[in-house]
């Protein structure tokens, strides 16, 4: 998987988790949902978010071509 896919996976997971926690635990969890949405909004303009920095440090491939190259190297 590429950086963009991991980023969307993380954002979707955090939105669903915070909605569930807001419903079953405390409405204050909806603030976390708002934070994730705000972060996605600002990243559309700045092309930066903390999760991208973390994923890059974990050496997640940026594009599909890079991911395929890594898979080929690992299989040999």
Give residue limits of the domains in the chain. 3-75
Buried b (16+ CB within 10 A) or exposed e, 4-41: eebbeebbeebeeebeebbeeeeeebeebbeebeebee
| Side-chain-facing half-sphere of 70: CA atoms under 13 Å | 11
Q: What is the pLDDT of residue 41?
A: 94
**76 residues of the chain, pLDDT tens digit each:** 899 999 999 999 999 999 999 999 999 999 999 999 999 999 999 988 889 999 999 999 988 877 677 777 777 6
CA dist 65 and 69 (Å) reads: 6
Q: What is the pLDDT of residue 66?
A: 72
**Closest listed residue to residue 40, CA positions, set 25, 50, 29, 31:** 50
């Amino acid at each position: 998987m590429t950086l963009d896919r991991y980023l969307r996976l993380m954002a979707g997971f955090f939105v669903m988790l915070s909605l569930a926690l807001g419903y079953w635990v405390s409405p204050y969890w909806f603030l976390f949902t708002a934070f994730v949405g705000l972060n996605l909004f600002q990243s559309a303009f700045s092309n930066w978010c903390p999760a991208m920095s973390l994923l890059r440090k974990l050496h997640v491939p940026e594009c599909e071509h890079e991911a395929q190259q890594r898979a080929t190297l690992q299989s040999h």
